[in-house]
Amino acid sequence: MDATSLERDPGLRPQIWEFPTNLQDEIRRAYLKAGPYQPKLSEYPFSGIGNQHRRFQFSWFQRYSNWLEYSPSKNAIFCLPCYIFAKKSTGRPGSDVFTIKGFDYWKKVNDGMNCPLIGHVGRDPNSPHKNAVKCCEDLMNQSRHIDKLVEKQVSQDMENNRLRLKTSIESVRWLTFQACAFRGHDESSDSKNQDNFIKLIKILASYNDQVNEVVLKNAPQNAKYTSPKIQKEILHIFANNVRNVIREKIGDAKFCILVDEARDESKREQMAIILRFVDKDGFIRERFFHIGYDGGSNMRGEWNGLQVLFLKDCPYAYYVHCWAHKLQLALVAASRETKHVHRFFVHLTSIINIVVGSSKRHDELQSAQAAEIESLIASNEIETGKGANQIGTLQRAGDTRWGSHFQSICSLMRMFSATCSVINTISNEGSNYSQRGDAEAAYMVLTSFEFILILYMMKKIMGITNALCQSLQQNFQDIVNAMSLVSTTKMLIQNLRDDGWESLLTDVILFCEKHQIDIPDMNGQYTRARGKSRHLVDKSMEHHFMIDIFTATIDFQLLELNNRFNENTMELLILSAALSPKGAYKSFKIDDICKLVEKFYPQDFTEQEKFLLRIQLQHYELDVLMHLDFQDMSTLSELCRELAISEKSKIYYLIDRLIRLVLTLPFSTATTEGAFSAMKLIKIRLRTRMEDEFLADHLLVYIEEEIAKNFTSEMIMNEFYSMKDRRRA
């Protein structure tokens, strides 16, 4: 109780026994902490009659400082200890002078040993006053003892709370790093399969007695730190700290935003957001940052697309379609433009579905492969060895993945005999007319010359383009080398068109002879089917196969590549190639570099800096390009790192700035593909109801474990307590 809320004037205050019994000790402590009431007045009033006028002397406070009190209202003195432990008056004369009435006979105070104040204290060790003083000391000692006990208890509670919270933090950390679910279907105490979070805490408790004494059933109901809400708050703190580190790493450097979309397990479109930047040491970094909820098709919208919204705020920003994805779309679209190739892929999908559509047929396929391999080994047609002659299965082609089309074709060619065997079995032994009919139709297509021709043709085309797809998908560290890959791919496809027909036809004929497939007369007249009738066409079979299928397919591929990778769209890459150290800087051209700045980065360099850039490039050409440490590099990213290590980036700071701007531009969304792979691990069929923020936080901490593992439990704990006005005890 605060003493300021009590009456201090001893002449006016109520007696102790007048207060409620349960408050009396608290009031006693409040008065004792405040001390005796000893006001210092400029003049104390006189009292008495006739020649006996006397008044209170301030010096008396010094002589009786530990108990003497003065009442201005009564002009009398009182005893604080006696008041503190006074009892209701018994009527004995003088017993209430220093507690209720007050003493004001000032003349007697200076009467030597007869002083009433000395008499009040008493010489007997057990005088009422001394007993009251002893009771006061005991009361305050008891109070201090209780305070210490409370303080100790509070300190212990705080320590226990922090240990409980630390256990929860480490459990969240481990489960997130392992992409594990936090919660289970039944989390009750009697559940046979509680959630992973609770089970992990139990495991930690089983190996640590201190943890065991404070967690779960040994924790207070209001401070268990195990609720789903607490789990999400802890994870959110981890995620926010990761984002803060990424922001700090970027600093004031330029960065780009990589965006790609995919459907999660709940069929919801998720848009991964990756930040790409060059750090202070010259390394290219791509960091997962968040998940958005927008369609990728809205990126390029003419009026309301994300590209347009960016350009409103930042007119010198660039929209770059993923080079790898652009190539995938170009090749898939071109293959579908030729009706014969389109029909080929439809038949290919149907054949694969028939053969591997059930476990029984899949087993039959593998048995047929095993028998074929044994036969080939017995006839010495194939060699044996570790890892050779593996039994596989047919691969399905994806809608937009050119590489999956290539794998599908290769798997069919490798298992052609086994596939024919399975389809034959189904056509003869199918359980119903539908199965037998589909299998027979598939077998007729599979063993046709046109199907085999397109099979071989697409393998050759895909063998050329698939290398580019993989390079673009994987080589995301250097944007400049992408240009040469596109150019060489166009040249190889053109060479195939000009000189590849004869070798292709030879391979197809050999394959057909090996598998006893009818080979048409190439000089014979081509017959085209129309409905139920067949009509002769004024062209040979070879013309049909070579011109209508082979040449037409390649022409569509080249047309699509030229449209999507033309000189205009690749100008940025072409000019950027002037900075590349590849081939001992054979592409280095000062004019092209200056043109790159003028056309694509006008806002990043002032007019004076553009002038100084040309001067720096002239020095750079004579200095850096001739330096031995810079001779063996092949990528722009290596050059950027070497400039940082040698500290030449400080000398040629404008060139370093331009290199970093070029490196910041992406041409692949490989990192976003990795994010979606992580999403498949986290948002599984049993976790389709995950909240958006929870999924984003879980993904971020899981993907950026390299950053998140550096946060200590103490850091997370302190931020957890600062988020809200939480009890620490």
Domain contains 466: yes
Domain count, the chain: 5
Query: How far does CA 425 lie from the centroid of its chain?
Result: 51
Q: Are residues 364 and 494 in the same domain?
A: yes
The whole-angstrom separation of Cα 171 and Cα 678 is: 20
Residue 477 has pLDDT above 50, yes or no: no
Q: Are residues 410 and 521 in the same domain?
A: yes
- Residue 635, classed as helix, strand or coil, is coil
- Residue 66, classed as helix, strand or coil, is coil
Within a 13 Å sphere around the CA of 138, how many CA atoms are in the beta-carbon half? 8
Query: How far does CA 347 lie from the centroid of its chain?
Result: 43
How would residue 652 be classed by pLDDT, with cut points 50, 70 and 90?
very high
Q: Which two tokens stand for residue 285?
A: 């970094």
Q: Are residues 332 and 444 in the same domain?
A: yes
76-80, 419-423, 534-538, 676-680: range with highest mean pLDDT = 76-80
Q: Count Cβ atoms within 10 A of the Cβ of residue 112 and give its class: 0-12 exposed, 13-18 middle, 19 or more buried.
A: exposed
- Residue 148, classed as helix, strand or coil, is helix
CB 268 within 8 A of CB 281: no
The whole-angstrom separation of Cα 473 and Cα 444 is: 38
Residue 78 pairs in a beta bridge with 69
Domain contains 10: no
Residue 381 has pLDDT above 70, yes or no: no
Q: Are residues 650 and 625 in the same domain?
A: yes
- How many beta carbons lie within 10 A of that of residue 530, not counting itself? 7
Residue 22 has pLDDT above 70, yes or no: yes
- Range(s) of the domain holding residue 301: 233-320+668-723
Provide the H-helix boundaries in 338-448.
Answer: 339-355, 359-378, 402-414, 416-429, 433-446
pLDDT, averaged across the chain = 82
Residue 79 pairs in a beta bridge with 68
- Residue 121, classed as helix, strand or coil, is helix
The values of phi and psi at residue 384, to 5°, are: -100, 160
Q: What percent of the chain has pLDDT over 90?
A: 25
Domain contains 217: yes
Q: Are residues 75 and 113 in the same domain?
A: yes
Return the CA Rg of the chain.
45
With residue 711 as reference, give the H or E element that holds it: none
Domain contains 2: no
Q: Are residues 356 and 440 in the same domain?
A: yes
The whole-angstrom separation of Cα 405 and Cα 469 is: 12
The whole-angstrom separation of Cα 652 and Cα 640 is: 11
Q: Whats the size of the chain, residue-wise?
A: 729
How would residue 166 be classed by pLDDT, with cut points 50, 70 and 90?
very high
CA dihedral (62, 63, 68, 74) positive or negative: negative
Residue 144 has pLDDT above 70, yes or no: no
- Residue 234: what pLDDT? 94
- Residue 105: what pLDDT? 83
- Residue 536: what pLDDT? 65
Report the first-to-last Cα separation within the chain, whole angstroms: 23
Q: Which two tokens stand for residue 302?
A: 């003419």
Tokens 């071109």, residue located: 334
Which amino acid, residue 507?
D
Q: Which of 226, 256, 284 is the last residue of a domain?
A: 226
With residue 540 as reference, give the H or E element that holds it: strand 533-540
Provide the H-helix boundaries in 5-90.
Answer: 24-34, 60-63, 80-84
| Of residues 192 and 352, more confidently modeled | 352
The whole-angstrom separation of Cα 597 and Cα 606 is: 10
How would residue 359 be classed by pLDDT, with cut points 50, 70 and 90?
confident
Of 166, 272, 282, residue with least CA distance to 704: 272
Tokens 């009190």, residue located: 69
- Residue 729: what pLDDT? 41
Domain contains 401: yes
Per mean pLDDT, which range of 505-509, 556-560, 615-619 is the poorest?
556-560
- Residue 478: what pLDDT? 53
Residue 76 pairs in a beta bridge with 71
Residue 210 has pLDDT above 70, yes or no: yes
Residue 377 has pLDDT above 70, yes or no: no
Residue 656 has pLDDT above 90, yes or no: yes
Helix pair 449-474, 501-514: axis angle to 10 deg: 120
How would residue 559 be classed by pLDDT, with cut points 50, 70 and 90?
confident
CB 727 within 8 A of CB 223: yes
260-312 per-position pLDDT tens digit: 777 777 888 888 888 999 998 889 899 999 987 655 455 555 445 677 777 77
Q: What percent of the chain has pLDDT over 70?
A: 83
560-619 per-position pLDDT tens digit: 888 777 666 678 777 888 888 877 788 889 999 999 999 888 888 999 999 999 999 999
668-693 per-position pLDDT tens digit: 666 777 788 888 888 887 777 888 89
Q: Are residues 500 and 521 in the same domain?
A: yes
Q: Are residues 457 and 362 in the same domain?
A: yes
Q: Are residues 170 and 249 in the same domain?
A: no
Domain contains 487: yes
Q: Which of 516, 546, 565 is the last residue of a domain?
A: 565
Q: Are residues 206 and 239 in the same domain?
A: no
- Residue 728: what pLDDT? 47
Q: Which two tokens stand for residue 466?
A: 């698939």
Q: Are residues 210 and 239 in the same domain?
A: no
- How many beta carbons lie within 10 A of that of residue 86, not counting itself? 19
Which amino acid, residue 18?
E
- Residue 506: what pLDDT? 94
Per mean pLDDT, which range of 243-252, 332-341, 376-385 is the poorest?
376-385
Domain contains 390: yes
Domain contains 8: no
Q: Are residues 448 and 554 in the same domain?
A: yes
Burial 326-349 (b: 16+ CB within 10 A, else e): bbbbbbbebbeebebbeebbebbe
Q: Which of 649, 664, 679 is the last residue of a domain?
A: 664
Q: Count Cβ atoms within 10 A of the Cβ of residue 76 and give its class: 0-12 exposed, 13-18 middle, 19 or more buried.
A: buried
